[in-house]
Structure 1
């Protein structure tokens, strides 16, 4: 009575009836699995018209120009900062040298 009954490994489980909490089988059939969804249209690749291709090419060229301008401006800012730090260092060195002479 307290020993569970396991099906043998070579027999598939019975899915036609569901077990109840008291160990008996119900007569209600188990729900059937839902079928896999079927796509309405076959998957197609991206198709571009000549006008669409021109728009994509222009957008890509514009993006390259904007990114290039940003990178050049950042490089210019670093160069100007480096030059100004160098000039400040030279001026400070001359001032310190002049203080030591007096």
Structure 2
């Protein structure tokens, strides 16, 4: 059981075997071969713990007045460009709608003239 990494189970089995043995010397030998794994034996010397290595910290972003102005200027430029693109798309849709309406009126007039000309 000790090779199976179960020292407490090996100790319990050894205790049972020692209890069933009639010879006290054999029982003492069995108990000595499988000591209680819950007892603590003092170690010769324990090495001191390794010093903790601090984790490398990520650099912090420092916002200076110059970078703040650059960020504000860049954000404003992006908003203006996106706004201009959206307005031009809206204008293109409006012009397309007006031209389709003019074509519809012209076609209606042509169809009405064809029916009157019979």
TM-score class normalised by the smaller sequence = 0.5 to 0.7
Residues 87/7 of structure 1: CA separation in 2 closer, same or farther (3 Å cut)? farther
Task: Note the C-alpha offset of 1:76.
Answer: 0.3
**How much does 1:101 deviate?**
0.6
TM-score (norm 1): 0.60
Number of positions where the alignment pairs a residue of Structure 1 with one of Structure 2: 70
Relative to its length, the structure with more helix (as a share) is 2
Deviation at residue 7 of structure 1 after TM alignment: 3.6
Structure 1 regions of 5+ residues with no counterpart?
A: 1-5, 12-36
What are the superposed Cα offsets for residues 65-98 of structure 1, whole Å, 9 maximum, x if unpaired? 0000000000000000000000000000000110
SS in 1 for 2:58: coil
* Equivalent residue number for residue 115 of structure 2: 100
Partner in structure 2 of residue 62 of structure 1: 77
Identify unmatched segments of 5+ residues in structure 2: 8-52
TM-score with structure 2 setting the length:
0.53
Could you tell me how far 1:47 is from its partner in structure 2?
A: 1.2
- Describe how 1:40-59 pairs up with structure 2 within 5 A: 40=56, 42-59=57-74
Superposed CA RMSD: 2.3
Structure 2 match to 1:20? none
Q: How far apart are residue 38 of structure 1 and its match?
A: 6.4
* Aligned match of 2:29: none
- Counterpart selection for 2:90 from 75, 86, 89: 75
